[in-house]
């Protein structure tokens, strides 16, 4: 295996080039890959919706639970990217390869434990979320496969973080898009039993997803070894402890912040469940559409941190401030445009995903209210990413806890009492607005504190 130094190709542009152009170059590949991936996820929801409202409600209940596992992967990916990027930038490539393998071993171990616990508690967890007795067998069919395949998702997600740390955002996008394409192609065959395949219903959707993830595992491992970004062997216990420590030091707070989101979403899902299966079905469709509508914001939240980290290390606080503020202005303007588009097309979008009039009515209502707060939510998301980038993961965790359990859940609950489902949706918008102002103030305060500390030490 080649021992040549791996140099991030975007390093010079991060420290010296146009901030707007650098963000564009880093973000566009992520957007392309995520659009394809999330679009295929929406196709997944569409095929399940053809099975009936009960099936659509069942898969809607799974979103907050599956995102708990995904959030752990995201958090460990953040820690992995930060550590690998620093090591590669310092020319410590041998340590970077060991840390990459340590990160993959860590995520396999932790996700494996989490999925095993989930597999043994399916009925308990989803009953607490408000699932009806008729929906539990469907949820079991889906989640039993999903949990067994959870590690297949973890490896590509963390492996892609290694690639991004090396300066490559195009290949991770290709891997994400390919996985989504495989899932979308397999869905109709396994769900409805086309050709030689048996009709497996909602379980077929989970099997299609697992097969797509397994393909990603093979691809990412081969790629990391060929590029010299990972040692091609398992680490011994001593190596594992040494090289996983830094990854987990950043990854655990980031994972904790991400894992709070599905917990809060699960609570709000239970609130929505009080209005019946049709409301849950609409809530699930709205959640998938929200991911699509927020795709640029999510891509930017993944491309902004390396730019901020590089400039913090070079003590270019002016560039950190400029990049942060430019990102916020862009996401506010872009998400306002998205809101207007959804407001106009809401009734037609609803008809694509539902046949029952009540479900289409709730989906339309969701799309005419909740997206108004997406730009404000973008401020919160980008601020959390920025805080992780400047090595303030505990503050990001605290802000996320504040957003979810002081604003998001309470405002949705209060809204449901006074204005039913309308109140839930408006409560979410108001919560995002208040938290956006708090997040912006918190980041500026942290940056000023860092600047003062530099002046004193200098």
Chunked in runs of 10, what are the mean pLDDT values of the chain (458 residues)?
A: 41 70 81 69 78 83 80 82 72 86 93 93 89 88 92 90 79 83 89 88 90 92 92 92 86 81 85 87 85 85 77 78 94 95 92 83 92 94 87 87 94 93 94 96 87 59
pLDDT at res. 54 = 82
Positive or negative, the CA dihedral 343, 283, 363, 71 is: positive
Ramachandran area for residue 131 (φ above 0: left; ψ -120 to 50: alpha; else beta)? beta
DSSP letters, 233-260, are SPPPHHHHHHHHHHHHHHHHHHHHHHHH
What is the DSSP code (8-state) at residue 200? -
What length is written for the chain?
A: 458
DSSP letters, 13-82, are HHHHS-HHHHHHHHHHHHHHHHHHHHHHHHHHHHHHHTT-HHHHHHHHHHHHHHHHHHHHHHHHHHHHHH
pLDDT at res. 1 = 36
Tell me the C-alpha distance between 212 and 120, whole Å: 24
pLDDT at res. 454 = 60
How far are the Cα atoms of 105, 162, 224, 228, 246 from residue 98, in angstroms, in the given order? 11, 12, 12, 11, 12
- Helix crossing, 237-273 with 53-89: angle to 10°? 150
How far are the Cα atoms of 124, 136, 282 from residue 133, in angstroms, in the given order? 12, 5, 19
Tell me the C-alpha distance between 120 and 354, whole Å: 32
DSSP letters, 318-369, are HHHHHHHHHHHHHHHHHHHHHHHHHHHHHHHHHHHH--SHHHHHHHHHHHHH
122, HSE (Cβ side, Cα atoms, 13 Å): 21
Angle at 419 between CA 416 and CA 423, to 5 degrees: 60
Q: Are 148 and 119 in contact (CB under 8 A)?
A: yes
What is the DSSP code (8-state) at residue 135? T
Nearest to 269 by CA among 367, 126, 400: 126
- In the chain, count of helices (H) and strands (E)? 17, 0
pLDDT at res. 8 = 42
Q: Where are the domains of the chain?
A: 17-448
Residue 2: helix, strand or coil by DSSP? Answer: coil
pLDDT at res. 2 = 38
pLDDT at res. 87 = 72
Tell me the C-alpha distance between 166 and 174, whole Å: 16
Tell me the C-alpha distance between 234 and 109, whole Å: 13
- Using the structure block, give the residue that is written with the tokens 């409600």: 57
Q: Are 215 and 149 in contact (CB under 8 A)?
A: no
- Using the structure block, give the residue that is written with the tokens 């709205």: 286
CA dihedral 377, 44, 172, 30 (to 10 degrees): -40
Tell me the C-alpha distance between 303 and 296, whole Å: 11
Quote the distance between the C-alpha of residue 441 and its chain's center: 24
Q: Which two tokens stand for residue 154?
A: 């973890």
193 φ/ψ angles, rounded to the nearest 5 degrees: 75, 45
Over the range 90-124, which residues count as b (16 or more CB within 10 Å of their CB) and which as e? eeebebbbbbbbbbbbbbbebbeebbeebeeebee
- Using the structure block, give the residue that is written with the tokens 């289409």: 360
Q: Which two tokens stand for residue 187?
A: 């869905």
CA dihedral 65, 70, 75, 81 (to 10 degrees): 180
pLDDT at res. 315 = 75
């Amino acid at each position: 295996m080649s021992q040549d130094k791996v140099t991030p190709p975007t390093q010079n542009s991060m420290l010296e080039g146009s901030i707007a152009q650098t963000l564009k170059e880093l973000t566009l590949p992520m957007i392309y890959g995520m659009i394809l991936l999330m679009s295929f996820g929406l196709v997944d929801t569409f095929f399940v919706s053809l099975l009936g409202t009960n099936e659509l409600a069942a898969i809607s209940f799974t979103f907050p639970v599956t995102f708990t596992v995904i959030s752990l992967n995201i958090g460990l990916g953040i820690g992995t990217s930060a550590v690998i990027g620093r090591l590669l930038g310092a020319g410590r490539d041998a340590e970077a390869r060991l840390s990459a393998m340590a990160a993959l071993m860590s995520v396999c171990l932790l996700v494996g434990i989490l999925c095993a616990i989930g597999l043994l508690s399916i009925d308990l967890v989803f009953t607490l979320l408000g699932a009806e007795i008729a929906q539990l067998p469907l949820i079991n069919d889906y989640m039993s496969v999903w949990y067994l395949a959870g590690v297949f998702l973890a490896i590509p997600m963390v492996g892609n973080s290694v690639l991004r740390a090396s300066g490559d955002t195009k290949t991770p996008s290709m891997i994400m898009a390919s996985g989504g394409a495989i899932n979308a192609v397999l869905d109709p065959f396994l769900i409805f039993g086309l050709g030689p395949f048996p009709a497996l219903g909602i379980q077929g959707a989970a099997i299609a997803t697992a097969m797509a993830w397994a393909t990603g595992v093979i691809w990412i491992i081969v790629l990391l070894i060929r590029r010299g970004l990972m040692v091609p062997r398992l680490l011994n216990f001593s190596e594992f402890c040494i090289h996983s420590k830094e990854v987990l030091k950043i990854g655990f707070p980031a994972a904790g912040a991400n894992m709070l989101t599905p917990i809060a979403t699960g609570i709000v899902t239970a609130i929505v469940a009080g209005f019946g299966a049709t409301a849950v079905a609409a809530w699930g469709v709205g959640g998938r559409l929200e991911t699509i509508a927020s795709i640029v914001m999510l891509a930017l939240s993944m491309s902004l941190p390396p730019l901020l980290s590089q400039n913090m290390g070079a003590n270019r606080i002016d560039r950190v401030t400029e990049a942060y503020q430019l990102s916020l202005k862009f996401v506010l303007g872009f998400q306002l445009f998205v809101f207007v588009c959804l407001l106009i097309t809401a009734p037609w979008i609803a008809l694509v995903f539902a046949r029952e009039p009540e479900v289409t009515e709730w989906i339309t209502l969701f799309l005419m209210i909740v997206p108004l707060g997406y730009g404000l939510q973008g401020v919160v998301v980008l601020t959390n990413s920025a805080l992780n980038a400047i090595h303030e993961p505990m503050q990001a965790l605290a802000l996320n806890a504040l957003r979810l359990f002081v604003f998001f859940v309470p405002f949705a609950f209060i809204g449901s009492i006074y204005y039913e489902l309308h109140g839930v949706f408006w409560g979410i918008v108001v919560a995002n607005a208040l938290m956006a102002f708090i997040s912006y103030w918190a980041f500026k305060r942290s940056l000023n504190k860092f600047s003062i500390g530099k002046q004193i030490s200098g």
